[in-house]
Amino acid sequence: MAQEVLIQVKDLLTQFRLDDGLLTAVNGISFEIHKGETLGIVGESGCGKSVTALSLLNLIEPPGKVAGGEILCDGVNVLKMNKRELRSFRGNQIAMVFQEPMTSLNPVFTVGNQIDEVIRIHNRVSSHEARERTIELLRLVNIPLPEQRYGEYPHQLSGGMRQRVMIAMALACNPKLLICDEPTTALDVTVQAQVLKLINKLKRQMDMAIMLITHDLAVISSIADRVIIMYAGQIVEEAIEREIFTNPLHPYTEALLKSIPSLSKNTEELYMIKGMVPNLLQRHEGCLFAPRCEYAREICRSVEPSSCLVGNTKVLCHKYMDDWEVAP
């Protein structure tokens, strides 16, 4: 039975006009997020993951802009919403947990006041009701002594606690989709596992969808239902989590998996993907991954590949198209 679509992204094009030229950070990507699922988005730094997330919330600011495409939520194009509609949409429909909680939280206000503010902006409630809801949210994200933490400042909390505060703030209006942008960055391994376990628990408890952005495939394997692999602003592979790990099709996905350290291979040299991510300010022909790809042929360097379906996996690669067999 097909899952109900929550968010539909069609041909999303997000660009930044810089002094050196026009940078296309997200290059015509299309995908869906279904109700109740966890979608993982994976790729190296600078591949367009965070820009995609900000585009979903229509938060791209000059010199950037969403230059094309549609983002549909319940059939309404987010990119056509006015300021009043966007205020209601953000928080109620989609909320986001940003990468670094210390820069996202205001250091001069208590964490309680900051969550209170979100609740009161979106709901007509008294100060007492907002406080009670905030303490309930702090308890929900497993913060001990929530009544005490309510009156504390961000610098008084550990990194893991600050991340939980950010999650509580994002959940204040019961969103249908929670976007988590590198939620475990700068946390130690034990705290990373706790945060991921918490996100998974909240997803089931609140019946919401999760969009998890990370560069770490190991994180994705423990939580995602479906995975999108991004490279240089494009989606190069999209499949269910099991297929990504057992049968990767795109050479970039294959290389990312080889890069994961393994305790069983601790005597071997760590695998590295050769070359660098392309400069998106420059014009490129063919496949953007071709200069780093061990399978690349002349057709890869001269002709841009089209997305094709191999089984249930979408992949952007000449290897799986008819022209591969006759290509030089």
Work out the average pLDDT over 83-89.
91
* Residue ranges covered by each domain of the chain: 5-109+168-237, 110-167, 249-320
User: Would you say residue 300 has pLDDT above 70?
Assistant: yes
| Averaged pLDDT for residues 125-149 | 94
Q: How confident is the model at residue 266 (pLDDT cuts 50, 70, 90)?
A: low
Mean pLDDT, to the nearest integer, of 298-311? 93
Average pLDDT score over residue span 204-228: 91
User: DSSP for 155-209?
Assistant: GGS-HHHHHHHHHHHHTTT--SEEEEESTTTT--HHHHHHHHHHHHHHHHHHT-E
- Could you tell me whether strands 307-310 and 226-231 are parallel, antiparallel, or unpaired per DSSP bridges? unpaired
- Determine if the peptide bond prior to 144 is cis (ω within 30°): no
Query: In whole angstroms, what is the distance from residue 163 CA to residue 292 CA?
Result: 36
| pLDDT score for 216 | 83
Which backbone phi and psi does 282 adopt, to 5 degrees?
-100, 155
pLDDT score at 104: 83
Predicted local confidence at residue 220, as pLDDT = 87
In this predicted structure, what is the pLDDT of residue 326?
61
| Residue range 233-256, pLDDT digits in tens | 999 999 999 999 999 999 999 999
For residue 230, which of 19, 48, 6 has the smallest C-alpha distance?
48
Architecture of the domain delimited by 5-109+168-237: 3-Layer(aba) Sandwich (3.40)
Share above pLDDT 70 across residues of the chain, in percent, rounded to a whole number: 96
The chain-wide mean pLDDT, for the chain, equals 91
Which stretch of 8-17, 46-55, 154-163, 261-270 has the lowest confidence by average pLDDT? 261-270
Asked if residue 101 lies in contact with residue 54, where contact means CB atoms within 8 angstroms, the answer is no
**Cβ distance 215 to 256 under 8 Å?**
no
Q: What is the DSSP letter of 35?
A: T
CA nearest neighbour of 253 among 262, 242, 245, 264: 245
With cut-offs at 50, 70 and 90, classify the pLDDT of residue 286: very high
Strand partners, 9: 31, 71
Gap between the Cα atoms of 176 and 238, Å rounded:
22
- CA-nearest of 212, 232, 280, 294 to 42 is 212
Task: Flag whether pLDDT at 30 surpasses 80.
Answer: yes
Model confidence pLDDT, tens digit, residues 100-124: 777 789 999 999 999 999 999 888 8
Q: Residue 162: its pLDDT value, please? A: 92
Residues 143 and 74: their CA atoms lie apart, in Å, by: 34
Q: With cut-offs at 50, 70 and 90, classify the pLDDT of residue 260.
A: confident
- pLDDT at residue 93, rounded to an integer: 93
CB 33 within 8 A of CB 211: yes
pLDDT one-digit tens code per residue, 307-327 = 999 999 999 999 998 777 665
pLDDT at 10 over 90: yes
Q: Where are the alpha helices (DSSP H) in the chain?
A: 49-56, 83-92, 101-104, 111-122, 127-140, 146-149, 159-170, 189-206, 217-221, 241-246, 251-258, 298-302, 323-326
pLDDT, residue 328, reads 55
223 bridge partner residues:
none
Token code pair at residue 260: 């994961």
Closest CA to 27 of 19, 38, 16: 16
- Measured distance CA(130)–CA(120) in Å, rounded: 7
b/e map 118-148, b = 16+ CB within 10 Å: bbbebeeeeeeebbebbbebbebbbbeebee
pTM of the predicted structure, to 2 decimals: 0.92
